[in-house]
Chain A
């Protein structure tokens, strides 16, 4: 009998924990990563850079949080309220501190004594790029190589669904033609890279998990307009839906309009991105090749620079 998807996820999680690939931190979807995880992860990340080196992308690394004003412009709270996380901080004086400590001593939750800081956990690593581009782009647009922490509030027992994770994204901002070309010329290179690591990959139309009734409309639009594609692989066997480990996305003028970015002809800019889910690719490799790195195919280890 085939295991249910929940059993399959728990089983994979148990194998990762027993082998010491991941270490639990007491909250679903939050893990410490061990040395063996990190070796594979770094190999994967380095391959994303060599695969897309020809883009000559400008490198930007962002902190794991973003200002509220920037977050507002992305409309993220309209589309994904269920994933949003805001930072709260203590702004009181001695009196409020004493109240907090009293509540804490009585075993109460004390976070209610904190105030929203106007800073949000960054849910998508490319957001801050657009805020830097308000104005007019040069002819040909611009390419960016962005990597950073993302946080999405979706606690899960599925090790493939972490709350805190990293995306390495290659973003293009330019015209509709150049943005589509960026996505559609980059996707086959991503596909080849992932397959070269021994993964069985399908490239399929996809939609983001937009919230609520209105979200169902956005999701349908995304599919019918072929805006988003995912690279999926059968982490939990062929009996279950495959899991997305990377994506290729065309945003149309969503960010160009929100951040008032113009292409060289003065039209509202279009954008697209090629996004590698670094933890997901790494874990898919452990699912495919086993939790003992030493027994992986030599060619895969060599590709990852993890053969010593």
Chain B
């Protein structure tokens, strides 16, 4: 898989987790990668559930320093966090 294709796959999995656990006010499929998730109904508590779902889906464990509000601020930020965590593993 190329880098771009891998990122597309990550984003698809992130959208899936957001759809199931994000409690967004819009469809997760319609959210652009750079959109501020907290602006479309995302909350800290929903972020926790999304975090657990992503760790499960990618079989990773986010390091503590990535467990911040900013990490969960957009689909792109989440994709970056997933690839950083995977690279550090």
Contact = CB atoms under 8 A, between A and B. Distances in A.
Given A214-B52, A217-B51, A257-B23, A79 B45 contact: yes
B45 A220 contact: no
A153 interface: no
B67 interface: yes
A217 B52 CA distance: 12
A contact face: mostly helix, strand, loop, or mixed: helix
A287 to B, nearest CB: 34
B85 interface: no
Contacts of A268: 41
Interface in B36-70: 41, 43-45, 47-49, 51-52, 64, 67-69
A225 interface: yes
Contacts of A257: 23, 41, 43
Interface residues of A, number: 18
A78 B44 CA distance: 12
Interface residues on B, range: 10 to 19
Interface string A214-225: 101110111011
Nearest to A215: B48
Given A218-B44, A252-B43, 9 more contacts: A78-B45, A79-B45, A214-B48, A214-B51, A214-B67, A218-B45, A220-B67, A224-B69, A257-B23
27 contacts: A75-B45, A78-B45, A78-B48, A78-B49, A213-B64, A214-B48, A214-B51, A214-B52, A214-B67, A216-B64, A216-B67, A217-B47, A217-B48, A217-B67, A217-B68, A220-B68, A220-B69, A221-B69, A222-B44, A224-B69, A225-B69, A252-B43, A253-B43, A254-B44, A254-B45, A257-B43, A268-B41
